[in-house]
């Protein structure tokens, strides 16, 4: 039996808002696989090149730090931060400078943590 990573599901209050944020940030289209059900939204698809992100409506807002997060590689850390903020996300205030690059801890519109990463040894992100 083969095991394959097919995606990540994120609990949230507003699946449509978060799917729009992540689709725009990642340049991956929102899927129609949930048939317009407002309790679910997906970026990408099972047949796509990248694992999909699915957003599931839950009644309670996020509380506390999550134990898993996404890393999003960008060409320029400042431009990436600006794009996240224009889309409704925000900078957490934590920046980490390493020999291999820069990491900014960011928050999506509902406060889910993720990292923007700029590697110094790459001319362009992998796609």
Question: What is the number of other CB atoms lying within 10 angstroms of the CB of residue 76?
Answer: 12
Which sign, positive or negative, has the C-alpha torsion 46, 48, 51, 52? negative
Would 127 be classed as within a structural domain?
A: no
Q: What pLDDT was estimated at residue 32? A: 77
Would 124 be classed as within a structural domain?
A: no
Q: What average pLDDT score do residues 73-96 get? A: 97
Domain with 86 in it: what CATH number? 3.10.180.10
- Count the domains in the chain: 1
Would 50 be classed as within a structural domain?
A: yes
Q: Tokens standing for 39?
A: 């309790």
Each residue's pLDDT tens digit, 8-59 = 999 999 999 999 999 999 999 998 777 778 899 999 988 888 889 999 999 8
Strand duo 113-119 + 70-73: pairing? parallel
Would 125 be classed as within a structural domain?
A: no
Would 84 be classed as within a structural domain?
A: yes
Would 77 be classed as within a structural domain?
A: yes
pTM of the model: 0.83
Q: Which domain holds residue 14?
A: 3-119
How far is CA 6 from each of CA 52, 55, 61, 74, 120, rounded to the nearest angstrom? 6, 14, 25, 23, 29
């Amino acid at each position: 039996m083969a095991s394959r990573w097919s995606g990540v599901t994120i609990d949230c209050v507003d699946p449509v808002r978060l799917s729009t944020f992540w689709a725009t940030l990642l340049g991956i289209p929102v899927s129609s696989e949930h048939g317009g059900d407002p309790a679910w939204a997906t970026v990408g698809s099972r047949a796509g090149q990248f694992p999909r992100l699915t957003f599931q409506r839950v009644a309670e807002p996020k509380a506390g730090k999550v134990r898993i997060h996404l890393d999003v590689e960008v060409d320029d850390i400042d431009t990436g931060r600006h794009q996240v903020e224009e889309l409704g996300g925000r900078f957490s205030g934590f920046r980490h400078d390493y020999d291999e690059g820069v990491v900014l801890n960011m928050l999506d519109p509902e406060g889910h943590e993720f990292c923007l990463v700029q590697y110094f040894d790459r001319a362009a992100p992998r796609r």
